[in-house]
Amino acid sequence: MCDCLFCKIIAGEIPSEVVYEDEQVTAFRDINPVAPTHILIIPNKHIASINELTPEDESLVGHLFAAAKDLAKQEGIAESGYRLIINVGPHGGQEIYHLHLHLIGGHKMRHPMG
Ligand code: 5GP
Ligand code: ZN
C-alpha cells in the first residue's frame, strides 16, 4: 500500500473536491486555497517530484499542463490569467512528495512569486 496522501485522495480513501479526472491525471481543490481558484493537478501514477521524472513520463507531464489549461477555462480564469507552479524539494517549498501542479487564479497575483 502506498502511504502517500495524494495516492489516498486518488483512491478515494481521503475525501477531496475532485474537479477533473481521467486515466492519467486527477485534479482537486487545494484544502488551503491561496486564491479564489486553487486546484492541484496530479498524475495518477505516484511520482515523488520533478526530480524523479523519467523519459517515459514526458507525455504525462504534457498532459498535466493540458489539463491545467482546460481547467483554467472551466474556472473562467483563462482570459484574466493565472499561475502554474510546481514546487520541488525543501528549498522549493514542496510539502507533499507526490508531483503536483498548482493552478492558481481568480485575483491579481502579488510579486514576488507566491
Ligand atoms: P506543496 O507545498 O507540496 O507544493 O503543496 C501541497 C499542497 O497540498 C498545499 O497547497 C496544501 O494546502 C495542499 N494539501 C495538503 N493536504 C491536503 C489535503 O488533505 N487535501 C487537499 N485537497 N489539499 C491538501
Ligand atoms: Zn502518491
CA 113 to chain centre: 17
Task: State the DSSP string of 51-80.
Answer: GG--GGGHHHHHHHHHHHHHHHHHTT-TTT
Sheet of strand 82-85, all strands in order from the earlier edge strand to the far edge:
18-21, 25-29, 37-43, 101-105, 82-85
Cα 83 to averaged position of ligand 2 atoms, centre (Å): 23
Count of alpha carbons within 13 Å of 61, Cβ hemisphere only? Answer: 14
Residue 84 has pLDDT above 60, yes or no: yes
Please report which ligand is nearest the Cα atom of 42: 2
- Tell me what the mean pLDDT of segment 44-70 comes to: 98
Q: Which atom of ligand 1 is nearest to the CA of 34?
A: 10
- Predicted local distance difference test score (pLDDT) of residue 75: 98
Q: Are 105 and 68 in contact (CB under 8 A)?
A: no
Q: What is the pLDDT of residue 36?
A: 97
> How far, in Å, is the centroid of ligand 1 from the Cα of 84?
15
| pLDDT over 60 at 114, yes or no | no
For atom 19 of ligand 1, which residue has the closest CA? 31
pLDDT digits (tens, 9 = 90+) for 16-51: 999 999 999 999 999 999 999 999 999 999 999 999
- Can you list the domains of the chain with their CATH numbers? 5-105 (3.30.428.10)
Residues bordering ligand 2, an ion, CB closer than 5 Å: 4, 6-7, 46, 98
Does the pLDDT at position 88 exceed 60? yes
pLDDT given for residue 21 in this prediction: 97
pTM here is 0.96
Ligand 1: which residue has its CA nearest to atom 12?
32
